[in-house]
Structure 1
Amino acid sequence: MAPASFWNSSKTVCVMDASGHLGSALVHRLLRRGYTVHAAVYSHDEVQRYKRQSTEKEDLRVFHSDPLDYHSILDALKGCCALFYSFELPSDHPTYDEFIGELEVRAAHNVLEACAQTDTIDKVIFTSSATAVVWKEHDEGHASDVDERNWSDVNFCKKFKLWHGLSKTVAEKTAWALAMDREVNMVSINAGLLMYPNLSIKDPYLLGAAEMFKDGVLVTVDLEFLIDAHICVFEDVTSYGRYLCFNGIINCNDDVVKLAKMLLPSSSSQDMFNDDSVHQQRISNGKLRKLMVDFESGLQVTSKD
């Protein structure tokens, strides 16, 4: 847990994109914890929605930022000590393919370059995915254990058209390369499948889900836990590198049935992956669990002394 001296209610942070499930929830949690928040959103409709909220909150500022427009990113980052960055799919292109992969990589490059040019930025919390960790070739029946030290194999992802894993892997590697070259303090959160209302079977994370299930690496994360993880790695000065983030594992038939009912509520199917065996968990989030042992997710109370 970060020392008490870390807390400063005047600290300003940026959340980009602030319109997604994670981004919007992060904005509200950070405001409750006493931060001033720059909410950077891509959609003009979302800008208007946030502006209606900002009239009631002096510590919330709204920016229209295009991840492909370097100068709009700089505007949102001005005066901020940290950036929480996550890539959201464009509303007119709601699935992953080669085009979106190129877009995500360019966006990651622009964002890290802008952070390098912003003197006040002390830390970047880069949201990636467990799909940037789990995909690789392995000997039949000999899948090895994985943690945040592993990277998905780009050629493997291309071969099997695992576009989500490919995009997340290349974008995160691009961000890390630039962060190291420009000496930007960056930490990444490699999140499992985000569980939220109306989660769809078409969620791009689920491409290859049956294979992840059999390999014991199909993991999920609740929104509140994911938010806690982001704030913890930001506030804890000892955080570094990558962190696999999940609080659920799907590796037996009961788990599959629960997920199937969520994804296909109108379906009577009870065997989403047609596999009733139990698969050994082969993925670890031990590094994150250790960091979060003493983390307090509630509202921070600052001393009046």
Structure 2
Amino acid sequence: MKEEPEVTGTSMDDHREKQQATVCVLDASTYVGFWILNGLLAKGYAVRAAIQKNGDGEILKNIREMEKAEERLEVSSVDVLDYHSILLALRGCSALFCCLDSPDGYDERNVDIEARGAINVVEACAQTEGIEKVVFSSSMAAAIWRDNIGSDNDVDERSWSDQDFCRKLKLWYALSKTLSEQTAWALAMDRAVNMVSINSGLVLGPGVTQQNPKTTLAYLKGTPEMYENGVLAIVDVDFMVDVHIKAFRDQSTRGRYFCFNQVVNTEEEAMRLAQRLSPLISLPPSYENQGNEPYAERLRTKKLSKLVEGTAY
């Protein structure tokens, strides 16, 4: 993974912070968690990688190999449905990157598992002395789905997906992400936990079709509707990691932050996306005779721009 340029304004205090503080990534065996782990190590942080036994096999193997070579990396096992195992994983840590994804995919039967995990994680943070900040990795799927998805209204960090609408269309990934994030926010506010959430678009990066197939396919359910309504967003994994770390380091960050590089709203861009995700998804037929007029982009990223420019609020 290429190293991100240092954030402007870093000082000797920042250097001492990295040397002294351990940050936790839970679940580091998810695709997003693994790349955040790599980004933190590249920045000089000591990291505790909390992994679940049912995580991606290749990612788990990579983390174990990294542990042998990297003295700043410590690996611990965790079960997000076991509150006490989370407490143990957080002991001695100053911050948490919470990256929950279902390794078994998303369906009606397990739609609430992430929400249950989020309750345990946030409660454990509230009860763990030393946790100063939680960066909660969520999804834009928790913001875009509702009855009036085709309206002219902009979609920004104040927007939430409608749970009943998600159930009606069987958008289990979107429902799970909405439930887990709303649950996390409710408990964080009640327990006075300092939390920010990063709502990422469809994450693209090295090995994503092999290491993150179920989550990728789950996000893509409803692709035609997202595409036609200007809310199909993608994000490069390096940029996503950059945003997560900036949100952690900037003390002024508050609330939710959309995180994406591009809105896919032309046929040419849709074809390129399909090619990047092949063979996970089938390539669409040619659109040569259907024109290439872009659909209007409706996603707004004022907060993201300020964060990336170093002026978050």
- For 2:304, the equivalent position in structure 1 comes to 288
Residues 188-224 of structure 1 show CA distances to partners (whole Å, capped at 9, x for unaligned) of 0000000133535961000111101111010000000
- For 1:103, the equivalent position in structure 2 comes to 113
Q: How many residues align?
A: 290
Cα shift at 1:26:
1.5
- For 1:277, the equivalent position in structure 2 comes to 293
- For 1:17, the equivalent position in structure 2 comes to 27
In structure 1, which of residues 59, 66, 72 is the aligned counterpart of residue 85 of structure 2? 72
What is the RMSD of the two structures over their aligned residues, measured on CA atoms?
2.3
Check 1:101–1:270 CA distance in 2 against 1; reply closer, same or farther (3 A cut).
same
Please tell me whether the aligned partners of residues 47 and 63 of structure 1 are also in contact (alpha carbons under 8 angstroms): no
- For 2:174, the equivalent position in structure 1 comes to 165
Check 1:47–1:73 CA distance in 2 against 1; reply closer, same or farther (3 A cut).
farther
Residues 10-30 of structure 1 show CA distances to partners (whole Å, capped at 9, x for unaligned) of 111000111122211211221
How many Å separate the matches in 1 of 2:286 and 2:132?
48
How many Å separate the matches in 1 of 2:234 and 2:65?
33
Check 1:198–1:12 CA distance in 2 against 1; reply closer, same or farther (3 A cut).
closer
- For 1:299, the equivalent position in structure 2 comes to none
Cα shift at 1:162:
1.0
Residue correspondence of structure 1 range 223-242 to structure 2 within 5 A: 223-242=237-256
Give me the TM-score of the superposition, normalised by structure 2: 0.86
How many Å separate the matches in 2 of 1:142 and 1:23?
34
Residues 156-196 of structure 1 show CA distances to partners (whole Å, capped at 9, x for unaligned) of 11111111111101110000000001100000000000013
Give me the TM-score of the superposition, normalised by structure 1: 0.88
1:135 partner amino acid: W
How many Å separate the matches in 1 of 2:102 and 2:264?
25
Note the residue ranges of structure 1 that are not aligned, 5 or more in a row.
296-305
Is 1:83 matched up with 2:92?
A: no
4+ runs deviating over 6 angstroms: none
Residues 12-67 of structure 1 show CA distances to partners (whole Å, capped at 9, x for unaligned) of 10001111222112112212212110000002766665344323222111100010
- For 2:127, the equivalent position in structure 1 comes to 117
1:261 partner amino acid: Q
How many Å separate the matches in 2 of 1:219 and 1:255?
11
Identity over aligned residues, as a percent? 44
1:164 partner amino acid: Y
- For 1:263, the equivalent position in structure 2 comes to 277
In structure 2, which of residues 39, 43, 53 is the aligned counterpart of residue 43 of structure 1? 53
Please tell me whether the aligned partners of residues 260 and 269 of structure 1 are also in contact (alpha carbons under 8 angstroms): no
Check 1:47–1:142 CA distance in 2 against 1; reply closer, same or farther (3 A cut).
closer
Please tell me whether the aligned partners of residues 47 and 62 of structure 1 are also in contact (alpha carbons under 8 angstroms): no
Q: 199-208 vs 153-162, which deviates more?
A: 199-208
